[in-house]
Amino acid sequence: MARYLLSLIGWIAFAAWLLLGAQGCERCDDFTVRGFAPAEVEVLHAAADAWEDASGGRLRVSLDGGDSTIDLVSEPPHRVTAPEGSRVLGTTRTKWDGTTAVEVLDDRGHPDWLGRLYLVALHELGHHFGCGEFYGRGRVMSIIVEDAATWPTATDLECAE
């Protein structure tokens, strides 16, 4: 009897976890990832995980694609070119169907390329979640990559839908 009860409690807890997990996830979108090397894809996962962990699971992107129309791409068809001296490294566009395309400028060869890729992906995913630019230091949404936070701050989370 005790064993049966324990098993029942287990199943109820599991069902509650499923239900709460599903409700807690407000923005759960699939991205397709194109044009990145395996080490870079790992970095993109780390950026997505940062948003998920910082928001307690509320903001989640899956990078496993499926039939997603949302892209995370490097070397996009309309290649993003940073003007001389500029530090624009990524763009986020809303496409005609309302989905977002996140593009990361190919800055391979930069001494800390993977570190920059992480910060740019973190920032561009913030746009996807509804955040605008921050013209100051210390946030994921800081417009200059060298000034950006490495983890979503409370203020970053506030602007995210």
Among residue numbers 66 through 125, which ones bind Zn ion (CB under 5 A)? none
Stretch touching Zn ion by CB under 5 A, among 61-69, 80-88, 104-112, 127-135: 127-135
Closer residue to Zn ion, CB minimum distance, 25 or 80: 80
Min dist. Cβ of residue 103 to Zn ion (A): 11
Min dist. Cβ of residue 143 to Zn ion (A): 6
Report the sign of the C-alpha dihedral through residues 63, 65, 68, 69, in that order: positive
Size of site (CB under 5 A) for Zn ion = 1
Stretch touching Zn ion by CB under 5 A, among 2-10, 13-21, 45-53, 126-134: 126-134
Residue 148 and residue 34: Cα distance in Å, rounded?
Answer: 25
Min dist. Cβ of residue 23 to Zn ion (A): 30
Helix, strand, coil distribution of the chain in percent, nearest 5: 40, 20, 40
Q: Which amino acid is at 69?
A: T
Stretch touching Zn ion by CB under 5 A, among 11-19, 59-67, 110-118, 131-139: 131-139
Min dist. Cβ of residue 25 to Zn ion (A): 24
Min dist. Cβ of residue 35 to Zn ion (A): 20
End-to-end Cα separation, the chain, in angstroms: 46
Cβ(23)–Cβ(58) below 8 Å: no
Q: Could you say which DSSP state residue 14 is in?
A: H
Report the sign of the C-alpha dihedral through residues 138, 54, 154, 105, in that order: positive
By Cβ distance, which residue is nearest to Zn ion? 133
Residue labelled with tokens 């930069």:
110
Cβ(43)–Cβ(77) below 8 Å: no
Stretch touching Zn ion by CB under 5 A, among 34-42, 56-64, 74-82, 129-137: 129-137
Positions in the binding site for Zn ion (CB under 5 A):
133
